[in-house]
Amino acid sequence: MTPDAIAPPFFLAAALLGIAGVLKVVRPRATAQALLDADLPGSGAVARGLGGVEVAAASWAILAPGTGGAVALAVAYLGFAAFLVYVLRTHPDAGSCGCVGTKAVPPSALHLTLDAVAAAVGGVYAAVGGPSAVAWVGALGAGPAVVVLAGLGLGGWLAVVAVTEAPNAWRAWSPPAHVADERRLDDHDATAEAALASVGIGPGHPSLWPGVAGEVQV
């Protein structure tokens, strides 16, 4: 794999890491609370310290990836992934991982996967010895650079939306695990059942209520 092929996702991952770090420095409360909720040491100072490390790693990756910045990026994302694995295993109902400022972002397998991919991208970029962001963008030329940077901006926005909105949407759509199946299956519409019964289909017809034994009314 060539540096030009891996550069776009690498610098996208670096930019997102830097933004996440800045949010922790400016608004550390959500991160501190997420750490406490996971039974880990959490305070404003700890959150700001983590944010500062993330900003430093992102800056290093953007400005000098070949001298260790790419490895620093990979290590940072591996740290995120390890934290998510821990939270998903020990606190699966946690309200937020504290990764994106004050917005509650429940830990999810999707977020874990993206972090693992970003770590792998950092490792590959370190292996191929990719250039800095300035050198890479300069080599593209003015026109292509504008298109590529716009695409990276769109890709970053989609990644943020996926991480922040998809877990909440999935939780809202999925039925609560503690709700008994009987309660869900009893939630029938009486008017609809009466109309069906008039044409010989009873309320327990298996084509209407999967998993419920019933007989066709004749």
Among 155, 173, 191, where does a domain finish?
Answer: 173
- The pLDDT of residue 146: 92
Same domain, 127 and 53: yes
pLDDT of 201 reads 63
91 and 137: one domain? yes
Q: Are residues 99 and 154 in the same domain?
A: yes
For residues 42 and 109, state if they share a domain: yes
Q: Which domain holds residue 203?
A: 179-218
Task: Note whether 69 and 109 are same-domain residues.
Answer: yes
Are both 148 and 183 inside the same structural domain? no
Cβ-contact 196, 181 below 8 angstroms: no
Q: Which of 118, 110, 115 is nearest to 167 (CA)?
A: 110
Q: Based on the domain organization, do 102 and 190 belong to the same domain?
A: no
pTM of the model: 0.74
Cα distance between residue 133 and residue 10, in whole Å: 10
What CA–CA distances, in Å, run from 63 to 73, 91, 99, 131, 132?
A: 12, 37, 23, 9, 5
Residue 132 in 3-state DSSP?
coil
Give the integer Cα–Cα distance in Å for 49 and 191.
Answer: 61
- Mean pLDDT for each consecutive 10-residue tract of the chain (218 residues)? 88 94 92 90 92 96 93 96 93 83 82 94 94 91 89 89 73 53 51 65 54 44
Amino acid making up residue 15: A
Q: What is the pLDDT of residue 102?
A: 74
Q: How many domains are contained in the chain?
A: 2
The predicted structure's pLDDT at residue 216: 41
Work out the burial of residue 216: count CB atoms within 10 Å of its CB; fewer than 13 is exposed, 13-18 middle, 19 or more buried. exposed
What is the DSSP code (8-state) at residue 93?
T
168 and 192 both lie in a single domain: no
Instruction: Report helix, strand and coil shares of the chain as percent, to nearest 5.
Output: 70, 0, 30
